[in-house]
Amino acid sequence: MTTNESTAVSLRDMRLCFYGAGSMAEAIIQGLTKRGLIAPERIGVMNRSNGGRLAELAERYGVSPLHDTGERLAWLREADIVFLAMKPKDAEAALAALRGVVTERQLLVSVIAGLPIATIGRLVGENVPVVRTMPNTSSTIGLGATGVSYSPNVPAEGRAVAETIFGAVGMTAVVDEPLLDAVTGVSGSGPAYVYYLMEAMIDAAGRLGLAPETARELTVQTVLGAAQMMRTTGGDPAELRRKVTSPGGTTEAAIAVLDESGFPDAIRRAVARAAERAGELGAIMERSASK
């Protein structure tokens, strides 16, 4: 399922609290405020120790920086939605500290890679509704792809709220939680695969004599155009590839080299390994929290 106008709900009267102030928290804040979905002053932001980062976000977006312990606790208790956006290494201690602070009337939205819903529930309380998400870095420019899963006690309104939020920074795909590892392999890590391909294309263009800036612009426009062509036409990638590949032509020669080098299998193995690693990291956090 992807977010669309029919699933969007109003966030205007809600209070949001971000526990963590990294790039993903900023991407969500930017998406929500840029679209006017919520007034900036209704968003509170806190982190472990970096006051300078909080001041930066306050100046840039008009959100409320939370420095004082009492102020933080008040926001955490009163917020309709609490975003778990801290670093994975800080997650266990931070979530344990939320036990008894957050309640079942609130919605917890996690953007922590690999952290299972069951582990979050065990740390903060099983009765608290949890939305687990796997966004990617393209969310920072409003073109993100986010996998979303829900604990059983997330109500329909809570689901619509989550999809509205992540719809503000791209598209969402609602999946069963075990499939979030696959989402991680495809779209969570996916931008890096594309950048790696672009690196190689730019390098190859330079070796053939093109100026660095020309090589970069040609590569960027080629990737952008191919993605937009697939989205606009709705075409199958294999069919679109065949339309570019004339018998005996340059593209056919290039594809033959990629096939000989094992390119398709390498991509499949890379996606599978990223998904597998996401599961491994989740299991590590699960064991740690169970001790």
Q: Which whole number is the average pLDDT over 169-187?
A: 96
Which of 87-96, 119-128, 197-206 is least confident? 87-96
pLDDT of residue 2: 53
Share of the chain above pLDDT 90, in %: 86
Average pLDDT of the chain to the nearest whole number: 93
| pLDDT of residue 285 exceeding 70 | yes
Asked whether residue 1 carries a pLDDT value surpassing 70, the answer given is no
pLDDT confidence bin for 113, thresholds 50/70/90: confident
The pLDDT, as a whole number, for residue 7 is: 62
Q: In this predicted model, what pLDDT tens digit does every residue of 36-67 receive, in sequence order?
A: 999 999 999 999 888 899 999 999 999 999 99
Residue 209 reports pLDDT greater than 50: yes
Is the model's pLDDT at 4 over the cut of 50?
A: no
- For residue 76, count other CB atoms closer than 10 A to its CB: 19
pLDDT for res 88: 84
Whether the per-residue pLDDT at 6 is higher than 50: the answer is: no
For 140-157, what is each residue's pLDDT tens digit?
Answer: 899 999 999 999 999 999
Whether residue 30 has pLDDT greater than 60: yes
pLDDT over 90 at 286, yes or no: no
